[in-house]
Amino acid sequence: MKKTLPYILSVSLFVYLIIVFTFASAKLREVKCEGLQVVVDGTEENAFIDETEVLGIIKRGYGDIEGCNIVSVDKDSLEHILVRNSVIKSAQVYYSLDGYFHVEITQRKPVLRILSGGGYYVDEDGKIMPLSRKYTSRVVVATGDISQKFACDKLYPFVRSLKKDEFWDALIEQIVVRNEELILIPKVGNFKIIFGKLEGQEEKMEKLRLFLKEGISRKGWNKYKEVNLKFHKQIVCVKK
């Protein structure tokens, strides 16, 4: 008896679960869709898409699901339709027993805006993202002769490194590219920083950091019109 009791309990639990799941499935088939509740994350930082647009994408791509049995709606299809949108990074769709579908949207986050070749963003994953007519993200702007390959492979990692550093994130506003050489335009002061090629960028940035903190900050941000980092182990400045 002692040997068979665990077996009997396991079978009884299994049968009970089948009954519960069968009952729950039957109840779910009776639940109609009452509507959709949309949450878009990161709207305080970027506002490329809102609830109204998400609802429109679903209606155009899948159809009207209000009034449908919730179990008859293909949640995977809804998610695939949503992530085809150029500003949506990911979408999660699920329903609750009150009949509402919940749609959680994660927007793509640009880190760099390119104003060449018609204009586009490079997002936090290093992928091309089209500009939006609705919203302009406040990120570093790059102009000049910039191929998409250079933007994604070289310029994007450099800008990401700037963004991770509070000092550079607060200082650098624009980048001008000429023959894959960089000119940095700061937010303060009326001068430009001739950065040159990206090779050796860490050494250049540390050299520049020291100069800005120990040199320009003492002599004044408007003393020079050009700061050149292209020379080995030295900074050459041109006064106004």
**For the segment 8-23, what is each residue's pLDDT rounded down to a tens digit?**
555 445 544 454 444 4
Phi, psi of 189 (to 5 degrees): 85, 160
pTM of the model: 0.79
pLDDT digits (tens, 9 = 90+) for 107-149: 999 999 999 888 999 999 999 999 988 899 999 999 999 999 9
Average pLDDT over the chain, rounded to an integer: 85
pLDDT digits (tens, 9 = 90+) for 39-51: 999 888 889 999 9
pLDDT digits (tens, 9 = 90+) for 55-97: 999 999 999 999 888 888 899 999 999 999 999 999 999 988 8
Phi, psi of 70 (to 5 degrees): -65, -30
In the chain, what's the furthest Cα-to-Cα distance?
99
Residue 203 has pLDDT above 50, yes or no: yes
What whole-number distance in Å separates Cα of residue 227 and Cα of residue 240?
Answer: 11
Token reading at 98: 């009150």
Model pLDDT, residue 45? 83
